[in-house]
Amino acid sequence: MQTTDKPFKKLLPAGEKIKKYLPFFIGFKLFKFTGFLTYIINH
């Protein structure tokens, strides 16, 4: 159990960082997508 537990403990801080920035990334993608759609509709 300890051998499989060690790599996850190393990855945990990186996972926390990703979790923190994931909503911003998703929001930015959604913003870009909706902006693109409105541009197509308007032109």
The answer to whether residue 8 is domain-embedded is no
Tell me whether residue 41 is in a domain. Answer: yes
6 domain-assigned: no
Q: How many domains does the chain have?
A: 1
Assigned domain for 34 exists: yes
Task: Show the domain range for 41.
Answer: 14-43
Q: Name the band, by pLDDT with cuts 50, 70 and 90, for residue 2.
A: low
pTM: 0.47
- 31 lies in some domain: yes
DSSP string computed for the chain:
-HHHHHHHHHHHHHHHHHHHHHHHHHHHHHHHHHHHHHHHHH-
Query: What's the pLDDT tens digit per position in 12-39?
Result: 777 788 788 888 989 999 999 999 999 9
Residue 7 lies in a domain: no
